[in-house]
Amino acid sequence: MDLEKELIKIIEKKRKITFNELINHFSNKDQNEIIKALDKLEDEEKIVIEPYLPKDFNFIKYLKDLSYNLWFYLVILVVVVVNLFVFIIPNVYPYNIFRWIFSAIFIVYLPGFTLIETLFPSRSELESLERFGLHIATSIGVVPLLGLLLNYSPWKLKLEPIMFTLTVFILTLAITALIVKYKVYKNAYKK
């Protein structure tokens, strides 16, 4: 029986298994062979490899580890860059191209991204293409709703209130998603 079939059989039997448990089960096999077989199975979408945190991994260590939350720092970076382009950097030729690009990401992708990451923190809940489509579709739905709420507020639809509302919305959901993902990863293999 080849290694991939054995891996699938063990994973189906246990449902959740750590990498170290797999290594211990296949003590006669090379660790690199197991890694290649797992990568191949994940590429073929036969298994889903979920990250999890060791027991001694607290929230501060989690924040410092970019392998878990690089997305969070990229969201913050895009939000800061967009606010710089809108409020500080002049809207002239070479800079306005970057302003358009980052603003498009800020409006069409980030609100939905942070909302979907909060609602579906685990990679196994949605496939990558579904997740990407929901990011954009949710953004297209959420941004007009925020605009509608602003229109009936005392601040009306002006640049500053729109930027403030979107920035607060995105950052609040990004922080919420970060905490939810931490809890999901931390509790992934509790028995």
Mean pLDDT across the stretch 41-45? 86
- pTM for this predicted structure: 0.84
Q: What is the DSSP letter of 132?
A: H
Q: Distance between alpha carbon 157 and the CA centroid of its chain, in Å?
A: 30
Q: With 70 as the cut, is the pLDDT of residue 1 above it?
A: no
- Which of 22-36, 107-121, 145-159, 166-180 is predicted least confidently? 22-36
CA-to-CA distance for 23 and 50, rounded, in angstroms?
Answer: 16
Mean pLDDT across the stretch 80-91? 94
What lies within 8 Å, CB to CB, of 71 at 6+ separation is 117
CA-to-CA distance for 121 and 69, rounded, in angstroms?
Answer: 12
Residue 169: burial class (beta carbons within 10 Å; 0-12, 13-18, 19+): middle
CA-to-CA distance for 85 and 94, rounded, in angstroms?
Answer: 12
Specify the pLDDT at position 158: 95
Mean pLDDT across the stretch 64-74? 94
Query: How do residues 140-191 score in pLDDT, each as one tens digit?
Result: 999 999 999 999 999 999 999 999 999 999 999 999 999 999 999 888 766 4
Mean residue pLDDT across the chain: 91
Mean pLDDT across the stretch 133-142? 98
Specify the pLDDT at position 32: 87
Specify the pLDDT at position 91: 87
Specify the pLDDT at position 190: 64
CA-to-CA distance for 126 and 105, rounded, in angstroms?
Answer: 21
Answer for the pair 31, 23: CB distance below 8 angstroms, yes or no: yes
